[in-house]
Chain A
């Protein structure tokens, strides 16, 4: 029994948004009488943090503190239409719709404040802490709260906004496949270190180093959550998961978690993440969605590392101990190409 170490690389890009477009998202933003803002959406939070990231986007676009913003979703009676949380579209589409709705609400807010301060709205800025003041003259100031009250009770103004973001649907050419898939892509490059036991065929991932380019990390902790969880799922996909272990035969399909295997907390792999940010021009604050692409590079990196360790090309997922052992046997033994 010998443990062989191997190192493998993979890199990918990932399209952000529903392919071909045609997937609108809408947002509604409105102020309470005392200057707190509600964002009404129909977007779904699956755990990726949709409520949280749209809250930050709204607060930024409005120019108010995040504590004064609350996101409500999803009720078809009160939320405007959104296509859904899939295809890494949420941050991009929903974020842009929220920016537009917040922009309109902000415009009303600055108009209302301008009327109170007797200046032009174009002279006003927000400080992000709940105040609106004349650019360069911070003493000429009014709070967002006072502005909302004035608007509501004296001026007869709503501080509200609507937004929709739609990438118009394109089609696919039957002869060439020409299409407009999406407008931006996230990127990732990843190196996996692992150990292969040449007696049992078991593969243990020992280390992951990664670089993910996400446009902008709108919330660095949410991005980190996705990348760590996603890479874990990538290892799981590479080594364990299948609903049909004898695909295309359907025998022995797992029906419970005893047979549908995933790595547990004791299998956690140290993962050193680097985040790059090249903001996409049409993404909210340049942010692309990291939620799907995080698992993809792990899977081939694991396969490439297994080859590097023992010289077996595992081209068939998942990479089970049986496949590794059969490969070693077919090669007449462990035949690593080059040690890294």
Chain B
């Protein structure tokens, strides 16, 4: 039995029919074609599936799709402003803060949530914010640096998308 779900995805109205028990990650990827949140564990321990729900980071692999009803969902697909990169994206790019890139969308989501509520975080606050996101490649330091760099960038700063 399919259950209708409507919500806002990256600022746009979205609707889908979900199967009972389907999680939000699967709904976003398979039903809505937003491939930016990733599957890493299905256990809520790696953070690659992180999306923002009403501005707060959540693990979409553990959220029932139905729970998205009426909420504002943000994913990495909505980070850039048209052709202009978000300062976080520019900072990750120029700071070599990604290697395989698989943890990057989740990292960007928690970083965005942090900077939206705390525009000038300390290093410890950045570390705390990303502590639920695993990275196997970088050793974390470049990611922390990139987030601090983005925090220092002027708010209107943009980067190229190509």
Write the residues of chain A forming the contact surface with B, with a CB cutoff of 8 angstroms.
45-49, 221-222, 224-225, 228-233, 256-258, 262, 264-266, 268
Which of A224, A233, A257, A268 contacts B43 (CB under 8 A)? A257
Confirm or deny: B99 has a beta carbon within 8 angstroms of a beta carbon on chain A: yes
Residues from chain B with Cβ under 8 Å of A47 in the complex: 98-102, 137
Check B41–A225 contact: CB distance below 8 A.
Answer: no
The interface centre, meaning the residue of B41, B45, B99, B142 with most chain A CB atoms within 10 A of its CB, is B99
Residue of B at shortest CB range from A222? Answer: B96
Residues from chain B with Cβ under 8 Å of A45 in the complex: 100
Which of B102, B130, B137 contacts A229 (CB under 8 A)? B137
Residues from chain B with Cβ under 8 Å of A229 in the complex: 99, 136-139
A48 to B124, CA, bound (A): 28
Confirm or deny: B12 has a beta carbon within 8 angstroms of a beta carbon on chain A: no
Nearest first, the 7 closest Cβ-Cβ pairs linking A and B are A47-B100, A232-B139, A47-B99, A257-B45, A265-B140, A229-B139, A265-B127
Which of B45, B131, B142, B144 contacts A225 (CB under 8 A)? B142
Residue of B at shortest CB range from A235? Answer: B139
Query: Which residues of chain B (59-87) have a CB below 8 Å from chain A?
Result: none
A231 to B126, CA, bound (A): 22
A48 to B138, CA, bound (A): 10
The interface centre, meaning the residue of A221, A231, A232, A233 with most chain B CB atoms within 10 A of its CB, is A232
Check B96–A225 contact: CB distance below 8 A.
Answer: yes
Interface CB pairs A-B, < 8 A, 22: A46-B100, A47-B98, A47-B100, A47-B102, A49-B99, A222-B96, A225-B137, A228-B139, A228-B142, A229-B136, A232-B138, A233-B136, A233-B139, A256-B43, A256-B45, A258-B43, A258-B45, A265-B131, A265-B140, A265-B144, A268-B139, A268-B144
A265 to B119, CA, bound (A): 20
Confirm or deny: B46 has a beta carbon within 8 angstroms of a beta carbon on chain A: yes
- Given the known inter-chain contacts A46-B100, A256-B41, please indicate yes or no for A264 contacting B46, CB distance below 8 A: no
Known: A232-B139, A257-B45. 13 other contacts (CB 8 A): A222-B96, A225-B137, A225-B138, A225-B142, A229-B99, A229-B136, A231-B139, A256-B45, A257-B46, A257-B134, A265-B140, A265-B143, A268-B140
Residue of A at shortest CB range from B40? Answer: A257
Confirm or deny: B141 has a beta carbon within 8 angstroms of a beta carbon on chain A: yes
Residue of B at shortest CB range from A230? Answer: B139
Residues from chain B with Cβ under 8 Å of A224 in the complex: 96
Residues from chain A with Cβ under 8 Å of B134 in the complex: 257, 262
Q: How far is the CB of A224 from chain B (nearest CB, A)?
A: 7
Check A48–B127 contact: CB distance below 8 A.
Answer: no
Q: How far is the CB of A307 from chain B (nearest CB, A)?
A: 25
Q: How far is the CB of B90 from chain A (nearest CB, A)?
A: 16
- Given the known inter-chain contacts A47-B137, A228-B138, A228-B141, please indicate yes or no for A266 contacting B100, CB distance below 8 A: no
Q: How far is the CB of B110 from chain A (nearest CB, A)?
A: 11
